[in-house]
Amino acid sequence: MSAPFRATSHQTYHRRRVRLIGLLPAAVAVWAVMRWRPFRVEVAGPSMEPALFAGDWVLATAGGRIEQGDVVVIRHPERPGIEMVKRVSGMPGDQVRAGRVLGPGQWFVTGDNPEWSTDSRSFGPVSREAITGRVRFVYWPPGRIGPVRRRG
């Protein structure tokens, strides 16, 4: 005679299996946030027109490689606590205004609308540490939603 529990054990004591496929999107999202540390910035003023307008809200990511033509967020070198959105127009080793060659770790940033922009033409090159992120995407207002493109 067999034990009475043997016949029922397969029917009553099942462990639930975790579905890894369901966890994969969440894991990818967590990894992306940790890797790129996204943050939001409000564009103020006309210095980046026509690419970005005053009142645009953009998503930027910290870290990563910065290249010529990227739109970046920088700390204002002369006004602590102020951040600005500008385009990279010169990288280390590039020749910029008046024949000046940028040294290692020096970046030249300008606004797309030079008549209304305070940028490297007035305060000089910025360090890589002053660049807090790369602008990736406009998410507000709804009519302007889309990626922020590099100019080259």
The residues, any chain, with a CB within 8 Å of residue 26's CB and separated by 6 or more, are: none
User: 77-132 pLDDT, tens per residue?
Assistant: 999 999 999 999 999 999 998 889 999 999 999 999 999 999 999 999 999 999 99
Cis peptide before 142 (omega within 30 of 0): no
In this predicted model, which residue has the larger pLDDT, 31 or 65?
A: 65
Report the 3 state secondary structure along the chain.
Answer: CCCHHHHHHHHHCCCCCCCHHHHHHHHHHHHHHHHHCEEEEECCCCCCCCCCCCCCEEEEECCCCCCCCCEEEEECCCCCCCEEEEEEEECCCCECHHHCECCCCEEEEECCCHHHCCCHHHHCCEEHHHEEEEEEEEEECHHHCEECCCCC
Over the stretch 34-73, which tens digit does the pLDDT of each residue have?
Answer: 666 789 999 999 999 999 999 999 999 997 899 999 999 9
Domain boundaries, the chain: 4-34, 37-147
Q: How far is 90 from 77, CA to CA, in rounded Å?
A: 17
Asked whether 107 and 92 are in contact (CB, 8 A), the reply is yes
Q: State how far the Cα of 67 lies from the Cα of 35, in Å rounded to an integer.
A: 19
* Options 2, 86, 120, 127, the catalytic residue: 86
Choosing from 9, 47, 117, 127, the catalytic residue is 47
Q: Which residues are paired to 140 by β-bridges?
A: 57
The verdict on whether 86 is a catalytic residue reads: yes
9 is catalytic: no
Domain 37-147 homologous superfamily, CATH = Umud Fragment, subunit A (2.10.109.10)
pTM: 0.78
